[in-house]
Amino acid sequence: MPVPENHEFFIDPGRCIGCQACVHACSECDTHRGHSMIHLDFVDRALTTQTVPVICMHCDSPTCAEVCPADAIKRSEDGVVQTARKPRCIACNNCVLACPFGVPKMKADFELMMKCDMCYDRTSVGKKPMCATVCPSGALYFGTRDQIESLRRAATPINQFRFGEQLIHTKVHMMVPKSRGREIVDVAAALFEAPVGQDMSLNILQ
Amino acid sequence: MHERVRATIWGAGMTALLGVLIVLGSRRLDHFDAALVGYTFATLFATFGIVYRYSMWLQRPPTRRYWVRGWQLFLNPRYLGNNLLQFLRRVGVMFALNAFIWRRGTMRGAAHWCLMWGCVIAAAITFPLVFGWVHFETVEGDLQSYRAYVFGFPTLAFPIHSWIAFAVFHGLVWASILVIIGVMLAMKRRMTDHGAAAVQQFAEDYLPLIALFAISATGLMLTASYTWMRGYAYDFLAILHAITVILTLLWLPFGKFFHIFQRPAQLGVSFYKDIGARLEQANCRRCGEPFASRMHVEDLIDVERELGYRYELEDREVQHYQWICPRCRRLLLSIAQANEWAGVRGGGPLLSDLPNAGISSSDRHQ
Amino acid sequence: MATLPVSRLETIQRFGPHLSYPAGMRLDTAEDPDKVVKTHCCFCGQQCGIQLKVKDNVVIGFEPWEEFPFNQGMLCPKGVRRYLQGAHPDRLTTAYRRDANAAGGFSPMPYDAAVRRVAEEIDRIQSTHGADAFAVLSGASLTTEKTYLMGKFARMCLRTANIDYNGRLCMVSAGAANKKAFGIDRSANPWSDIPKAEVVLIAGSNVAECSPITTNYVWQARENGAKVIVVDPRITPIARTCDLFLPVKPGRDVALFNGILHLMIENGWIDQRFIEQFAVGFDAVAEHVRQWTPRQTAEVTGITESAIRQAAEWWGQAKSSFLMHARGIEHHSHGVYNVLSTINIVLASGRIGREGCGYATITGQANGQGGREHGQKCDQLPGLRDIENPEHRAYIAKIWGISPDDLPGKGVDAYEIFRKIDRGEIRGLLSICFNPKVSLPDNNFIGRMLDKLDFYVAIDFFLSESAHQADIVLPGSLQEEDEGVVTSAEGRVIKINKCVDPPGEAQQDWRIIQDIAAGLGRSRGFTFNEPREIFDELRRASAGGIADYAGITYEKVERQLGVFWPCPMDDHPGTPRLFEHGSWNPVALGRGPFYFPDGKARFNVATYTPPAEDVDADYPLMLTTGRVVSHFLSGAQTRRIGPLVDQYPEPRLELHPQLAEQLSIRDGDWATVESRRGSCTLRAQVVRTIRPDTVFVPYHWAGAKSINQVTIAAQDPISKIPEYKVCAVRVRREASPPAYAQQLEPQQ
């Protein structure tokens, strides 16, 4: 059974407060207790409190699946890139290294790659993914296009990401400001950009 | 098209080779039981299918890369000694014990271990018997003893009423019991596990269990029939058993059972990783931290190119997105998004200490 | 650095904190629960709705509760992992008595014998030294029924004036200021007003870590076009992308808000009509803030003039707004003035009591709001009544069936109780839901005082660090083992539902209190059979008071998913937003929106005074303390939950790289922070998100890791809240790790 009809995943890392509720909730999930599939990293704690939660973006043509020598990663008809098939995965790490978003996790103990599968066990019975349900900042949101448009009027969801010459389309959308009129986010360009945030020195009286 | 031709040739070749071995091993079919011809042809078909699929699989760029590189590294004289030791250890831990599956879950481990060993024992007994590679004869002058012949050559002899004989002649019974226990455990898990419930498919996940159960159950019925029921319905059961086995053999190359042949690649991968860890590491071209072996990254870049991906970057120092570690890739997603929002949400660019990030290095880019 | 005494190590080894983790951390599926109970999280004042899964009398997991309107399924890490506190190896399932010869320093004893011993000791102390020589310390994470019973128990059964509670460390500055300005102590608005505001001003609240669900409300306001202004000495996650960040020097909030009011008046950004019609005292305040020119404000607060002007302009010109604050401005020796100065800019703007125009304090403790309404505070009786008001005394005495003359008078605050122990005036103590050894400032003093007591009985579900020093420990109940109501930060009364029975000899807390009353031979008034009966009496006791619960029933709470008090009658729907035209107000009776006889709000002159202990040459830095997202209060619960400890295992000393360079401290080095009272050696975390003249340490840890060894016991003269948020310290690098690093696990 597919993800509830019309429901899509929208991420807005800029809203993230780094609380890790998503990480904890993910590891309480039924199919992988004790193992979170979500990454939550500080961008540079010495500099800023900025954090980034990363779930699988569910690419239309997933690099992870194509570089898999064991053909262990499948994309469902509704576009969910599933976690590695247990009988097949040979724990080679290709997917971990190839994913442009840095999503798959290698579980060395299990000789198995595991990744976010949009809570297939929950969405298949009409529930929302665990992380998007608990996220207190709305950085992870699961709902209809109408809902997101009425809630986030200044933002527009986009699902095309550029990495050098490569353009990747994803099932998951990221929120960017409407005013920019952007259709593509150039992720690799951020290699040469600084994190953004309030600067302590700015408003301190010297 | 080229790949299919090659796969067909490999499939046909290996099937022919098996045919020749059957003729040779059974001493020109002297020891071949004509009643088992159905099994033999099913096996030959399965052989063609498996080799064909395996060959197609090996020709995929990532698999080919691993296959070639795996053997190169394994056979490299510098590592060979250690590799052989590791090979023995891993065959024990990974294959014989299924340690990694037990770690995933006790029920999972128990189910797989029983299924696997049941099938291994059964295959080790039945294929040589069917092909006529092994047969038993009474020892001349000693009617109380049997001698086993392998490829027509005499080997061990043992008394008919010994425990060895009992164990050997009931080998399939033990195998069936293991398989049935495994099937029951696996079925129970599939029926109660919420995760399994979400992704499992009948053909992919239940059918193999049903097939194994059918083979084992009909096989046990045969034993029961000739042991306790004076051969009641024996012919019918034999045909039923043959049908279950033959259908399973024919299906072998297509479904879940193909993992039996694919799975040993895990061993090759472990050598690739072992040796890679001792070679030069790839340092992330953003944060400077090592994140994989350089060999692995370079191999992947090649594979991605073959597959048509273009993660090349204009920047002459970074060159390819593959040289950025997975953690930095995650951070970049948020930095990219934050920059889209700059001027809309509060805050401005912050100077960073990272070698390749921050204001200072953006000059270099321009 | 001295090593730990063996006895303390043994106690820790035996009673924890040890860590609990989810069972079967493999790929196996979870068990199906027997039932799923809709209830609320036990941590923090937001009281998120959550469903707990129960199997075989054990809470085995959770499921989000998306229908509950406040959090709509959202949870923070504490909520997600809260279920791991049940079925914990450290759980007390029997009574204990202190026994130097026993393993861990305590030996188990039968519950009945322990209760008898407690009653005997209370009786002995009170008959020798007088009723007030026995004190009670209660907590604001108990259900409202229990807090009501604690107040009644102290006054009616023990007849002691000396009962106070740990809301003293939390809510009292806001409470006192709210009563002074509005005549009522409750958040003026439900959170649903936040997204409707044009400007959201957050003062001294690390929203993202201390009240994470509020984040979504703030971000929603921003999505709707609001400007977000944050006042904090640290760039917390909510401040990172705010529109205006005001990096205030700790302890200078009054100056900032007076300065903002100065600019509002100067530019005519005030609501003259509202001020005249609905408030009194504006002229005195206007006169007072005249001295707070932008330059003067900038100099005192350490914030640039332009930033202050920007804040005044946005706040002054907004059509709608929401101001919220928390402990950051309240934990001060002038916490009440800090709060009053924020209320002044709210009143001057006229933006209160309307949709999208709000003001709130963000309650910290699980029942921080309900826990301060019904009489466990030293100066209060149920219904937010005043213990010194004869009418109020008479009303409650009638409900309890006693003479008003038998009702003790006003007691002393929680910290003063320890000073009274020092002076020998208090000889015995009963504590529940309070861990003063960790949570009170200058806590080495607190430790000495607990030892000095003739008799100390602690009611607890884990052996908290304070209970380490108890003579008798009675095994109490976890939140999920009892039912009752609590009141959330919004003023919403909600229902905690029972999931499991207390294990072993552990008892629901209210039963323990009643058993002690029976042991003393004073059972009258303490014969309730279930929380509902206590609640029914509480409703009657609160009727006619300001915090009026008379119209609230368990059924109504469940039907409406919470009822906002005041709710005086059965057919009254409750009052989500205060100060609206025509809303229930038993004091003003229609004369105006505020809870004074004339219906008008009060402007209060907020005079600036520096912190009680300012920096000097010996102690040149300011220390401020606070929470981290994965821990709660003294950590008695969260330091026992493995995944929460893994997220933030040990306290770290946050300091700015400029300061770190001066002190030759690198990230990860050991460093000692030291005040005139004590010192604490921790790992340094060098970050550019804190003022260079300030260091920060979170307060959830005990013993050598407790930053409250260093903090100052200075208190606000009105609210008696301690000054956790600023004291003078010095910091030095340590070449070697402290002794505890080898002896203790991170959470211990």
Over the stretch A50-73, which tens digit does the pLDDT of each residue have?
999 999 999 999 999 999 999 899
Whether the predicted pLDDT of A173 surpasses 50: yes
- Residue C682: CB atoms within 10 A of its CB come to 24
For residue C4, the model assigns a pLDDT of 58
The more confident residue out of B104 and C628 is C628
pLDDT by residue (tens digit) across C53-77? 999 999 999 999 999 999 999 999 9
Higher pLDDT, B58 or C7: B58
Contact yes or no for C689/C233 (Cβ under 8 A):
no
Beta-carbon-side half-sphere exposure of residue C164 (alpha carbons within 13 Å): 24
What confidence score (pLDDT) does residue B159 get? 86
What's the mean pLDDT when you consider all of chain C? Answer: 95
Residue A174 is given by DSSP the state E
What are the chain A neighbours of B335 within 8 Å (beta carbons)?
43, 190, 193-196
Closest CA to C545 of C375, C301, C359: C375
pLDDT tens sequence across C278-290? 999 999 999 999 9
Same domain, B186 and B130: yes
Cβ distance A31 to B318 less than 8 Å, yes or no, reads no
User: Is B255 contained in some domain?
Assistant: yes
Task: Please check whether residues B163 and B249 belong to one and the same domain.
Answer: yes
Q: Mean pLDDT across the stretch C636-641?
A: 97
CB atoms B259 and A87 under 8 Å: yes
Q: Which residue has the tokens 């691993």?
A: B66
Regarding whether B197 and B244 lie in a shared domain, the answer is: yes
Question: How many percent of chain B have pLDDT more than 90?
Answer: 51
Domain limits for position A165? 7-61+118-192
* pLDDT surpasses 80 at A4: no
In chain C, count of helices (H) and strands (E)? 25, 28
pLDDT at B352 over 80: no
Work out the pLDDT band at A123, boundaries 50, 70, 90. Answer: confident
With 90 as the cut, is the pLDDT of residue C44 above it? yes
Mean pLDDT to the nearest integer, C365-371: 93
- What percent of chain C clears pLDDT 90, i.e. is strictly above it? 95
Is A201 within a domain?
no
List CB contacts of B43: < 8 A, sequence separation 6 or more.
Answer: B18, B127, B130, B131, B249
Same domain for B283 and B264: no
**Residue B356 predicted with pLDDT over 60:** no
Q: Is residue A50 part of a domain?
A: yes
Predicted local distance difference test score (pLDDT) of residue B169: 81
ipTM, two decimals: 0.96
Is the pLDDT at C642 greater than 80? The verdict is yes
User: Which candidate from A50, A133, A203 shows the least CB-CB separation from C73?
Assistant: A133
Report cis status (omega within 30 of 0) of the bond before C17: yes
Summarised one tens digit per residue, pLDDT across range A78-112 is 899 999 988 899 999 999 999 999 999 998 888 89
Residue A140: name the closest of C322, C145, B334 by CA.
B334
- CATH class of the domain comprising C621-743: mainly beta
Task: Measure in Å the smallest separation between the Cα of A159 and chain B Cα atoms.
Answer: 12
Partners of residue C688 in chain B, C-beta under 8 Å: 350
Q: Please check whether residues B251 and B330 belong to one and the same domain.
A: no
Residue A176 counted as domain residue: yes
Same domain flag for B296 and B207: no
Instruction: Tell me how many helices (H) and strands (E) chain A has.
Output: 6, 10
Q: How far apart are CA A30 and CA A26, in angstroms?
A: 9
Averaged pLDDT, C687-697: 97
Q: Residue B233: what pLDDT?
A: 86
pLDDT tens sequence across C447-497: 999 999 999 999 999 999 999 999 999 999 999 999 999 999 999 999 999
CATH classification (class only), C95-170+367-564: alpha beta
Chain B residues with CB inside 8 Å of A46's CB?
A: 353
Q: In chain B, which residue's Cα lies nearest the Cα of A181?
A: B340
pTM over 0.80? The answer is: yes
How high is the pLDDT of residue B363? 37
Calpha distance C470→C437 (Å, rounded)? 11
Q: Do B273 and A54 touch (CB under 8 A)?
A: no
CATH number belonging to the domain at C172-362, selected among 3.40.50.1010, 3.40.50.1000, 3.40.228.10, 3.30.2010.10 = 3.40.228.10
Query: In this structure, how many other beta carbons lie within 10 angstroms of the beta carbon of residue C518?
Result: 15
- pLDDT at residue C1 tops 50: no
DSSP C598: T
Residues of A in contact with B269 (CB under 8 A): 69, 90-92
pLDDT digits (tens, 9 = 90+) for C534-576: 999 999 999 999 999 999 999 999 999 999 999 999 999 999 9
A176 or A118: which leads in pLDDT: A176
pLDDT (0 to 100) of residue B365: 35
Q: Which residue of A has its CA nearest to C686?
A: A46
Q: Measured between CA atoms, how close is A140 to chain B, in angstroms?
A: 13
| Gyration radius from chain C CA atoms | 25
DSSP secondary structure letters along C480-528: GGS-EEEE-TTSEEEEE---SPPPTT---HHHHHHHHHHHTT--TT---
Chains that touch C (3 or more CB pairs under 8 A): A, B
pLDDT of residue A32: 82
pLDDT digits (tens, 9 = 90+) for C293-325: 999 999 999 999 999 999 999 999 999 999 999
Q: What is the pLDDT of residue A31?
A: 77
Query: In the predicted model, what is the mean pLDDT of residues C676-692?
Result: 97
Please give the tally of structural domains in chain A. Answer: 1
Distances (CA, A) of C226 to A176, B52, C195, C356, C712: 17, 64, 8, 11, 38
Chain B residues 307-366 with CB within 8 Å of chain A: 307, 309-315, 318, 320-322, 324-342, 344-354, 356-359, 361-362, 364-365
Which of C26, C240, C244 is opposite residue B105, by nearest beta carbon?
Answer: C26
Residue A55 covered by a domain: yes
Residue of chain C minimizing CA distance to B345:
C241
Check if the beta carbon of residue C612 is closer than 8 Å to that of residue C714.
yes
Q: What is the reported pLDDT for A161?
A: 97
Do B121 and B195 reside in the same domain of the chain?
yes
* Same domain, residue pair B226 and B89: yes
CATH code of the domain covering residue A173: 3.30.70
pLDDT at A126 over 90: no
Mean of pLDDT values over C195-204: 98
Of the pLDDT bands very low, low, confident and very high (cuts 50, 70, 90), residue C2 is very low
pLDDT exceeds 70 at position C26:
no
On chain A, the residues whose CB falls within 8 A of the CB of B356 are 191-192
Answer yes or no: do B284 and B143 share one domain: no
Domains of chain C, residue spans = 95-170+367-564, 172-362, 621-743
Whether B304 and B243 map to the same domain: the answer is no
What's the pLDDT score for residue A206? 81
Backbone angles phi, psi at C18, to 5 degrees: -105, 170
The pLDDT, as a whole number, for residue B226 is 86
Q: Which of B269, B295, B319 is the last residue of a domain?
A: B269
Structural domain includes residue B307:
yes
Inspect the interface and report whether the beta carbons of C73 and A137 lie closer than 8 Å. no
B212 and B292: one domain? no
Residue A28 pLDDT grade (very low, low, confident, very high; cuts 50, 70, 90): confident
**DSSP-based helix, strand, coil % in chain C, nearest 5:** 35, 20, 45
Specify if A79 maps to a domain: no
Q: Which residue of A has its CA nearest to B335?
A: A195
Chain C positions in Cβ-Cβ contact with residue B99 (cut-off 8 Å): none
Give percent of chain C above pLDDT 70.
98
Q: In chain C, which residues have their Cβ closer than 8 Å to the Cβ of B194?
A: 29-30
Whether the per-residue pLDDT at B5 is higher than 50: the answer is yes
Mean pLDDT of C121-139: 97
Q: Do C28 and A48 touch (CB under 8 A)?
A: no
SS3 of residue C463 by DSSP = coil
Kindly list the residues of chain C whose beta carbon comes within 8 Å of any beta carbon in chain B.
24, 26-30, 222, 228, 240-245, 688
Lowest-confidence pick of A147-156, B355-364, C133-142, C577-586: B355-364
Q: Name the residue of chain A whose CA is nearest to C294's CA.
A: A205
Structure tokens at C521: 């031979």
Residue B348 located in a structural domain: no
Residue A84, in any domain of the structure: no
For the cut 70, the answer to whether the pLDDT of residue B263 exceeds it is yes
Contacts of A103 in chain B (CB under 8 A): 326, 330
Q: How confident is the model at residue B361 (pLDDT cuts 50, 70, 90)?
A: very low
For residue C198, give the amino acid letter.
Answer: E
Q: Provide the number of CB pairs (under 8 Å) joining chain A to chain B.
A: 243
Whose tokens are 């495994």? That residue is: B182
Q: Which of A126-130, C207-211, C326-330, C644-648 has the lowest mean pLDDT?
A: A126-130
Report yes or no: B316 and C211 within 8 Å, Cβ to Cβ: no
The CA distance from C614 to C727, in Å, is 7
Of B222, B249, B269, at which residue does a domain stop? B269
User: Do the chains contact at B94 and A54, CB–CB below 8 Å?
Assistant: no
Tell me the pLDDT tens digit for each residue of B131-190. Answer: 889 888 888 887 788 888 888 888 888 888 888 888 878 889 999 999 999 999 999 988
Structural domain that includes position B67 = 2-269
Domain identity same for B128 and B206: yes
Residue C215: its chain A contacts at CB < 8 A? Answer: 15, 17, 136-138
Q: B140 versus C641: which is more confidently predicted? A: C641
CA distance C620 to A206: 17
Which tokens go with C278? 């609905």
Query: Minimal Cα distance from B361: which residue of A?
Result: A192
